[in-house]
Amino acid sequence: MSRHRWELAVEMLIEWVIRLCGISAIIFVFGIFYFVFREGAGLLFSGRFSLAQFFTNIEWYPTSQSHVRYGGLALIVGTFSVTVLAMVIAVPFGLCAAIFVSEFCGPRLRETLKIIIELLAAIPSVVWGFVGLTLMNSVIISLFDTPIGLNVLNGGIILALMSVPIIVSIGEDALKAVPDTYREAALALGATRWQMVYRVLLPAAKNGLLAAVLLGVGRAVGETMAVLMATGHSVRIPTSALDPVRTLTATIAAELGESSVGSDHYQVLFIVGILLFSITFVVNLSADLIVRGIRGKA
């Protein structure tokens, strides 16, 4: 009897620990959001900072002695251009690779491929950045005959290489999660392998594949060190993929370390952080709505 009660108590305890772990994510996210917002809010409402200037001006001179300007437009455009290019490269690549690994290749090749792809995911972003700075810079200069190889293209390729492993492994899991009965039914109806993939598997795995893509987008938007090194970190509006740019994340990483705590510059960097928060929030929310929409129809 007492043993039974003891077991019950342990079970309660474990349940509570698990519950705490579960809601801790909420606490952390809100706590961090509050913290970031608090650090940035002082300047945001102080009158020394103009949101209009931040969103429409490209002049980013946070440490000027004569005329401080916080124009964030170039940084926003930079983040979007690099992310979009990275996704244009990574999404088809990653999804095709996922389909190949999941549906078309033999078991031995699959295991080898998965190990290598996971290895690709394990490379630290500083190493990617270094590859961008040294190897890719020279390659792009000689291939495209441009004055500088640190640009949107370089950053986009590096980010694509970083997000492909995520898209592949999540995408492959999503395809694997489609019941085999679907495949058997398709093949029994006389579909070819490609028709089966195209007509049956892709629609069935839509949610998982979307999640894979969004995880890739998240990786690309949030990546810091690699883009800092590979994009050239140059404040300007790019007119082509061969122009250097600067991203929001790289700006925070490069400048927060040396700005004195509590200064206007420090607070502006937190406003940039709030902006990044908002971007990911909007991406997540719309993704959630899309997924829900798909579910609703199905």
Partner 1 sequence: MQCEMARNNCQMKNALLAISLFLMVLMVGGCGSSRYHASGRTVIQNIGSDTMVNLAQAWAEEYAMVQPAVSVEVSGGGSGTGVAALLNGTADIANCSRRMEPDEIARVKAATGQEPTLHIVGYDALAIFVRKDNPLEEITMEQLAAIYGEKGRIRSWSDLGIQMAGCRNNEMILVSRQSNSGTYFYFREAILGNTGDFRLGTLDLHGSKDVVELVSRTPCAIGYSGMGYATSHVKMIRIAHKPGEPTYAPTVENTQAGTYPISRPLYMYTVGEPTDAVKKYLDWVQAEAGQMLVRTSGYVPRNKETGMIESSRNGGKGADIE
**What is the spatial distance between Cα 132 and Cα 178, in angstroms, rounded to a whole number?**
38
Q: Label residue 16 left, alpha or beta by phi (over 0 means left) and psi (-120 to 50 means alpha).
A: alpha
Residue 61 engages partner 1 in binding (rule: CB under 8 A): yes
Q: Which stretch binds partner 1 (CB under 8 A): 11-19, 26-34, 156-164, 186-194?
A: 26-34
Output the smallest distance, CB 195 to partner 1, in A: 24
Find out whether 250 and 224 touch, Cβ atoms under 8 Å.
Answer: yes
Candidate list 160, 200, 211, 241; residue touching partner 1; CB under 8 A: 211
Element (H, E) at 167: helix 152-176
Residue 196 vs 228, nearer CB to partner 1: 228
Output the smallest distance, CB 205 to partner 1, in A: 9
Candidate list 2, 4, 18, 65; residue touching partner 1; CB under 8 A: 65
Candidate list 56, 138, 195, 240; residue touching partner 1; CB under 8 A: 138
Residue 245: φ, ψ to 5° = -140, 180
Candidate list 97, 98, 196, 214; residue touching partner 1; CB under 8 A: 214
Q: Which stretch binds partner 1 (CB under 8 A): 42-50, 153-161, 187-195, 272-280?
A: 272-280
If we measure between CA atoms, which residue out of 124, 151, 98, 120 comes closest to residue 223?
A: 124
Find out whether 230 and 246 touch, Cβ atoms under 8 Å.
Answer: no
CA distances from 36 to 24, 26, 39, 223, 278 (A): 18, 15, 5, 18, 12
By CB under 8 A, the residues from 167 to 196 that bind partner 1 are: 169-170, 173-174, 177
Candidate list 1, 52, 122, 261; residue touching partner 1; CB under 8 A: 261
Residue 98 vs 200, nearer CB to partner 1: 98
Sorted by sequence, the CB contacts under 8 Å of residue 179 that are 6+ apart come out as none
Candidate list 44, 253, 264, 290; residue touching partner 1; CB under 8 A: 253
